[in-house]
């Protein structure tokens, strides 16, 4: 089951009120489906693509490495 972009954007919008950093949520192909920077939506996130290639994700969406997807 994938997170719908509308719900993802709602989550991002709420998170952006709490933390001073941009938030992106990507789909399983690495495309940004929600972002604090709306111009990035539907663009490819190279870091996510790299993470997808190097990590095997479980259906339970376990966090395998808390630092794996953090980008400056």
Other beta carbons less than 10 A from residue 15's beta carbon: 15
Count of alpha carbons within 13 Å of 57, Cβ hemisphere only? 16
Closest to 41 measured CA to CA, from 31, 49, 50: 31
Q: Is the pLDDT of residue 66 over 60?
A: no
Q: Is the pLDDT of residue 2 over 60?
A: yes
- At 57 the pLDDT is 57
Give the separation between CA 40 and CA 55, rounded to whole angstroms: 23
Helix (H/G/I), strand (E/B), else coil: 50: helix
- At 72 the pLDDT is 44
Single pTM value for the model: 0.74
What is the token pair recorded at 35? Answer: 């972002």
What average pLDDT does this structure show over 44-69?
68
Domain boundaries, the chain: 5-54
Question: Considering the chain, what percentage of its residues have pLDDT values greater than 70?
Answer: 76
């Amino acid at each position: 089951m994938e997170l719908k972009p509308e719900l993802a954007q709602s989550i991002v919008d709420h998170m952006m009120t709490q933390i001073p950093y941009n938030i992106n949520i990507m789909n399983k192909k690495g495309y940004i489906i929600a972002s604090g920077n709306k111009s990035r939506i539907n663009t490819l996130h190279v870091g996510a693509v790299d993470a997808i290639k190097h990590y095997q994700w479980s259906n339970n969406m376990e966090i395998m490495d808390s630092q794996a997807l953090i980008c400056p």
